[in-house]
Structure 1
Amino acid sequence: MDAVLSRRAAVLGGVVAAAEVVSGRAVAGAAVGGESGGGVRVMPLGDSLTDGFTPYPGGYRVELWRLLTAGGRTVDFVGSQSNGPAELGDHDHEGHSGWRIDQLDAHVGTWLRQSEPRTVLLLIGTNDVNQNLDVAGAPDRLSGLIDRITGVAPRCDLFVATVPPEADRARQTRVVAYNAEVPRVVAAKGPRVHLVRMYEALTTADLADGTHPTREGYGKMAAVWYAALRSVPGSLTAYAGRARG
């Protein structure tokens, strides 16, 4: 009987944890056993576009992993979250569905200290646009988040992406306005912060639900990330010592 109850509790716990990831609640302190095959520690950081919440669990991380492996790169995805299909060799990430810039900012210091990434892939801002809460202030919030990341992990290479298009016309107007400010923000942050032009890689035909990409759309995103990483060779080279400065 105890064994049956234990199995039921484990299943229920998994369901609750999954629900919290989708809703954006209680994920910051989630303890997830990390996978590691060694190699360069890369943190995919953001919202559901990193999580791959819908319609394709794992999102761009699946194809990015394939590209890195095919290119002879040994990479360790890191983060407190974990999901994705079997073909994704490392399921760890820091994508939090429904989260805005300020919510990442509140927890990213802890995540960075726990995971010690060599490289961070940041894609955030879609929910600032969609939730329509002080959209005009989003670039300044992004600037503050970048400062937080570089303050905690000054030696890491940080790649900051513009957000993909939206099918809804009003949201798309806000996306364009937000993305127009991202290059200015990134340019002020020094040589270890790199702009990734994700917006131009997708069209609304690549969206499954008006916001989240199809599997093919996520593949296009992966190609952009891969090209960005290859353009900064050191970002795929592990530190000799610890990642923090």
Structure 2
Amino acid sequence: MNRVVQVALWVGLAGSAGSVACSRRDPVQDATKTAPTAASAVAPLEARPSAPSSGSPCPTSRPCRILPLGDSITFGLGGSPGGYRVPLFRLAREKKHEIVFVGRVRSGPSAVDGAPFSPAHEGYSGYTVAPCGGREGLAPLVDGALSTEPPDVVLLMIGTNDVAVGCDLAASAKALEAIVDRVAERAPSATTIVASLVPTQSPAMDLRGDAYVAEVAKLVEARAARGVRIRYADMRAAFATREGYRTQLLADLVHPNDAGYAVMAEVWAKVVWP
């Protein structure tokens, strides 16, 4: 599959050991949820600016605004505060790139290696793609997530909880498709990087998740063919090809540890700055 087709969509996170205690209600949803944009105000997908076939989607004249969007893995559970965002920030600095994370949620340090760090993101612990299995869904939060600072890059990772609680994964894939399309409508100049699910400590759970991951890859490829600014980040392969990944890269059933988040940061970085 064409790697230019990269949208960082990650697939969510269940709680720890069977599950880390998760807040199932979005603390900012009611206060910041915006009304759907009128259809007449949104350009059709076919009219949207297409993404370049290579190169970084980040501007060179100012810091790149990156919106991490997803579940508890985006939040950073299982590792040090900030999750993958901290090592991604370090990699960006090493490459002489300026980035700033945007979003309504705050978690993580205020500085990294002496440099100011924005701990902003849109990671919601325990969330599924759309409401199912008694869980809150990420889909209703997308408009609000995009209402603060317009992102240049969206790192989308969601779906692990759908696998963990037994949601209808075909429905989850359709809901993910709706999220991708909504981001393209509301932020047509942004590039969405959708990530595959990180493998878990359960082979049976991974077998179930494989079908969802396959649908995610197809979605990214189809949208890229239509000119949507989207790319694919294969987190699953990055973990699974490392020896002992279930114990070396995971803190519990589904959440990466610091070493796992460092691997995630490397994958994101290769997609943002190919």
The answer to whether the Cα contact below 8 Å between 2:105 and 2:121 also exists between their aligned partners in 1 is yes
Q: Is the 8 A contact 1:43 1:121 kept in 2?
A: yes
What are the equivalent positions in structure 2 for 1:15-94 lying under 5 Å apart? 22-29=22-29, 39-88=63-112, 89-94=117-122
Q: Deviations over 1:179-220 (max 9, x none)?
A: 112111111113411111111111323111121111011000
Which one has more relative contact order, counting CA pairs under 8 Å at least 6 apart? 2
Is 1:196 paired with 2:233? yes
Offset at 1:79? Answer: 0.4
In structure 2, C-alpha distance between the alignment counterparts of 1:30 and 1:204, rounded to whole Å: 37
Extract structure 1 runs of 4+ deviating beyond 4 A. none
Number of residue pairs aligned between Structure 1 and Structure 2: 206
Tell me the residue number matched to 2:183: 149
- Secondary structure of 1:120's partner? strand
Question: Do residues 119 (structure 1) and 153 (structure 2) align?
Answer: yes
Cα distance, 1:209–1:101 mapped onto 2, change above 3 Å: same
The Cα shift of 1:27 comes to: 2.1
Whole-Å Cα distance in 2 between the matches of residues 155 and 139 of structure 1?
24
The alpha carbon displacement at 1:29 in A equals 3.6
Task: Give distance in 2, aligned partners of 1:46 and 1:82.
Answer: 14
- Give, in whole Å, the separation in 2 of the partners of 1:29 and 1:128: 20
In 2, distance between residues paired with 1:194 and 1:55? 26
Note if 1:97 corresponds to 2:125: yes
1:216 aligns with 259
Where 1:166 maps in the other structure, the secondary structure is coil
In 1, the alpha carbon distance for the partners of 2:75 and 2:266 equals: 17
1:85 deviates by 3.2
Preserved contact between residue 162 and residue 179 of structure 1 (Cα < 8 Å): yes
What amino acid sits opposite 2:187 in the alignment?
A
Q: Secondary structure at the match of 1:42?
A: strand
In structure 1, distance between residues paired with 2:220 and 2:181: 10
**Percentage identity across paired residues of the two chains:** 37
- The 1-side partners of 2:176 and 2:232 are apart by 13
The structural deviation recorded for 1:143 is 0.9
- Structure 1 contact 43–77 (Cα < 8 Å) conserved: yes
Q: 1:30 Cα shift?
A: 8.3
Q: CA deviation at 1:57?
A: 2.2
Q: 1:148-187, aligned counterparts within 5 Å? A: 148-187=182-221
Q: 1:188 to 1:80 in 2, by over 3 A?
A: same
The superposition leaves residues 92-120 of structure 1 with CA deviations (integer Å, 9 ceiling, x where unpaired) of 11111111112221011122022211110
1:31, distance to aligned residue in structure 2 (A): 8.1
Cα pair distance change 1:136/1:31, threshold 3 Å: closer
What one-letter code is carried by the residue in structure 2 that aligns with 1:225?
W
Distance 1:77 1:214 in 2: 21
How many Å separate the matches in 1 of 2:215 and 2:29? Answer: 32
Q: Take 1:61 and 1:53, find their aligned partners in 2: how far apart are those partners?
A: 12
Q: Secondary structure at the match of 1:177?
A: helix
Number of the residue aligned with 2:43? none
For residue 76 of structure 1, what is the amino acid of its counterpart?
V
Q: Counterparts of 1:164 and 1:175 in 2: how far apart (Å)?
A: 10
Q: Unaligned 5+ residue runs, structure 1?
A: 1-20, 33-37, 232-245
1:136-168 deviation per Cα after TM superposition (whole angstroms, max 9, x unaligned): 322211111101111111111110000100112
Deviation at 1:22, TM superposition (A): 4.0
Asked if the contact 1:62–1:87 (Cα under 8 Å) also holds between the matched residues in 2, the reply is: no
Partner SS, residue 160 of structure 1:
strand
The AA in structure 2 aligned to 1:49 is: I
